[in-house]
Amino acid sequence: MERKRIRKKLVKLLEVSPPLKEILLSEDTLESKRNRIRTFLADMLVVTFDDDPTIPPLEWVLTRDAIGVFRTILSSRSERLAGFSFLGYLNDLLHKPHYRDVPRPEAGFFAEVEHLLKGIMGKAGTYSATPPVFSKYEGVKAARLRSADLSRMARTAREFMDRYACGLSEEVIRERSQNKQRILEHFGATEYEWEDWEWHTKHIIRNADTLKDLVDLSGEEYEAVKRARAYRIPFGITPYYLSLLDRSSGGPRDYAVRAQVLPPLRYVEEMRALKSCNERSMDFMLERNTSPIEGVTRRYPMIVILKPVLTCPQICVYCQRNWEIEDVYSDTAAVSGEKLDRALEWIAATPEILEVLITGGDPLLLSDEKLRYILSRLATMPHVERIRIGTRTPVTLPQRITDTLVRDINRFHNPGKREILIVTHFEHPYEITPQSMEAVQKFRRYGMEVYNQLVYTFYNSRKFEAAFLREKLRLIGVTPYYTFNTKGKEETDDYRVPIARLLQEQKEEARLLPGTLRTDEIVFNVPGLGKNYLRAVQHHDVISVLPDGRRVYEFHPWEKQLFLVDTYVYTDVSIHDYLQKLKKAGEDTHAYRTIWYYY
């Protein structure tokens, strides 16, 4: 019965393309079908480029892309790399008398097949059949009609953005001041102590019961924190960051802030399993293969990462270094003086290094003296022209950005000779506060640039949510720099977003903003190799779709025209599942309907 239902559903989907349906339902061998489909796709491509009047304007672009994807998926090379034959699977579903050894297709698989076929046949329905009215006119009349269209687009964008809370709104500032008072009362502390970053590091909230006294927690939030502590999974929240959480749990404003620090139960259990088998397997980025010396990571010719400390004031749940981050603000997290010196000597002896990214962990957790020491050692190396400091303290602990610290760092910022710049990590406009703005402005007043690296997770991926963040970031003096795809780590599946959504966000949301706001590059960090620029379609391919609807990608290394380096095969999260999650969170998924046509 189930087989009949599945087969019937597939046959119905195939009706969008009668030639494909005929081929797939024929009794030909699999190889003959593969060849016939290839010929059919080649013919379709010719028709597409022949300016077929039956295909609406611009739909041909989608058709061309969908044909290219299907052709790649059909190749035996893709099948070998993906370890799965999409065509063979379709064939099994249509022809096998039983499904004993055949995995059941999930809703995401049917959805991918449907949209791929529609794309190939020029029936995606993305574009309106009628061209906009302004195109029929010229001069001022055309300009006014076009201007009205553009205003409508801007208003739609603003309506979406208005749904998200920003920490600079007066109402939020008022409420957070009450949160602060509640936290101060709990610890019996003063306003003066609140401004002292070391008071915060001494009062990091590390357990579920203290947390529960200060903010409401759902049953799952409480249980997850409790278990995280029991399993020795790093957890902690600075009193400052806690004041950014709304008192009640499950509200519409602070979901992204809570998701940053409150681990989901599934994450906690996965981490426990991973930790107990082999910690190394959590090193998704394969840093163990790119560290020429302890404390240094090198993936590019002219830049290295220096990691003098392996902890942060609090841990982002999705942190790519969760395999080596020690407990929150732990005493033992600073790399020993000897190891640090050896790492610095290695950089000194490597004259090709133009730029050093000091990160970790969060290097601004180091004392002023230690930081001064590292910067002064780097400043003696004539080849090091730029020092980047990667820190999330403007967001998690803005009190750390003291005048003394900024003056100390600025001593090494020497225009024309050496540049110091700050790379921070705001995830949501709700994290932007007058205090974080002041922290950023302190660097800016001394002429140091501040950039932002956004990790694009489920919790900041709604329509125009990242666009709104970029708008607010520029206002406080931060330049959007990178938007990262979340890493393909099973323990953080709840945070992952399909690659198609990053591409859609750039094209349909970020693109509507002025160029000064959309300065970031969307990237996939290829393990062991480095950044792949997602918007360049020639640097990645969809090579398969699995029975559960997940796309398999092949990523090309950044140096592909320079060096013979292998490609990297990656399985994404299912678009269908992502849309279902959005729906559950109250989103109208119709607004995301074109996502299927981004590859």
Residues in contact with ligand SF4 by the rule CB under 6 A? 312, 315-316, 319, 321, 361-362, 392, 425
Considering beta carbons, is residue 56 or 361 the nearer one to ligand SF4? 361
Scan for tokens 């360049």, then name that residue.
536
Considering beta carbons, is residue 85 or 525 the nearer one to ligand SF4? 525
Considering beta carbons, is residue 112 or 287 the nearer one to ligand SF4? 287
| Distances, alpha carbon 207 to alpha carbons 183, 199, 228, 229, 259, in Å | 15, 18, 9, 7, 16
Considering beta carbons, is residue 235 or 597 the nearer one to ligand SF4? 235
Q: How far is the CB of 316 from ligand SF4 (least distance, A)?
A: 3
Q: How far is the CB of 240 from ligand SF4 (least distance, A)?
A: 14
Q: Are 313 and 201 in contact (CB under 8 A)?
A: yes
CA distance 203 to 239: 7
Q: Are 410 and 446 in contact (CB under 8 A)?
A: yes
Tokens describing residue 447: 């002429």
Q: How far is the CB of 391 from ligand SF4 (least distance, A)?
A: 8
Scan for tokens 């609090």, then name that residue.
314
Q: How far is the CB of 132 from ligand SF4 (least distance, A)?
A: 43
Considering beta carbons, is residue 316 or 409 the nearer one to ligand SF4? 316
- What residue type is assigned to position 479 of the chain? T
Paired strand residues for 356: 304, 387
- What residue type is assigned to position 571 of the chain? T
CA angle 287, 291, 297 (to 5 degrees): 75
* Region of residue 544 (phi > 0: left; psi between -120 and 50: alpha; otherwise: beta): beta
Q: Are 570 and 552 in contact (CB under 8 A)?
A: yes
Q: How do strand 479-485 and strand 521-526 relate by DSSP bridges?
A: parallel
Considering beta carbons, is residue 62 or 242 the nearer one to ligand SF4? 242
CA distance 520 to 127: 27
Return the SS3 of 456: strand
Instruction: Spell out the alpha helix ranges (H) of 446-527.
Output: 465-476, 499-508
Q: How far is the CB of 319 from ligand SF4 (least distance, A)?
A: 3
Q: How far is the CB of 310 from ligand SF4 (least distance, A)?
A: 9
Scan for tokens 């681990």, then name that residue.
263
H or E segment at 531?
strand 530-533
Q: How far is the CB of 423 from ligand SF4 (least distance, A)?
A: 10
Q: Determine whether 372 is exposed, middle or buried from the number of CB atoms within 10 Å of its CB (0-12, 13-18, 19+).
A: middle
Return the SS3 of 516: coil
Paired strand residues for 482: 453, 521
Considering beta carbons, is residue 313 or 557 the nearer one to ligand SF4? 313
CA distance 398 to 236: 16
Q: How far is the CB of 487 from ligand SF4 (least distance, A)?
A: 10
Considering beta carbons, is residue 316 or 437 the nearer one to ligand SF4? 316
Q: How far is the CB of 340 from ligand SF4 (least distance, A)?
A: 18
Q: How far is the CB of 197 from ligand SF4 (least distance, A)?
A: 15
Tokens describing residue 230: 């029991």
Q: How far is the CB of 317 from ligand SF4 (least distance, A)?
A: 9
Q: How far is the CB of 358 from ligand SF4 (least distance, A)?
A: 12
Considering beta carbons, is residue 48 or 492 the nearer one to ligand SF4? 492
CA distance 246 to 59: 45
Considering beta carbons, is residue 312 or 543 the nearer one to ligand SF4? 312
Paired strand residues for 64: none
Instruction: Spell out the alpha helix ranges (H) of 320-398.
Output: 337-348, 368-379, 393-396
Considering beta carbons, is residue 60 or 484 the nearer one to ligand SF4? 484
Q: How far is the CB of 326 from ligand SF4 (least distance, A)?
A: 11
Considering beta carbons, is residue 56 or 236 the nearer one to ligand SF4? 236
Q: How far is the CB of 235 from ligand SF4 (least distance, A)?
A: 11
* Region of residue 464 (phi > 0: left; psi between -120 and 50: alpha; otherwise: beta): left
Q: How far is the CB of 249 from ligand SF4 (least distance, A)?
A: 22
CA distance 579 to 588: 9
Considering beta carbons, is residue 360 or 528 the nearer one to ligand SF4? 360
Considering beta carbons, is residue 79 or 362 the nearer one to ligand SF4? 362
Considering beta carbons, is residue 118 or 425 the nearer one to ligand SF4? 425
- What residue type is assigned to position 339 of the chain? K
* Region of residue 58 (phi > 0: left; psi between -120 and 50: alpha; otherwise: beta): left
CA distance 486 to 284: 11
Scan for tokens 């079908």, then name that residue.
33
CA distance 225 to 213: 14
CA distance 363 to 420: 14
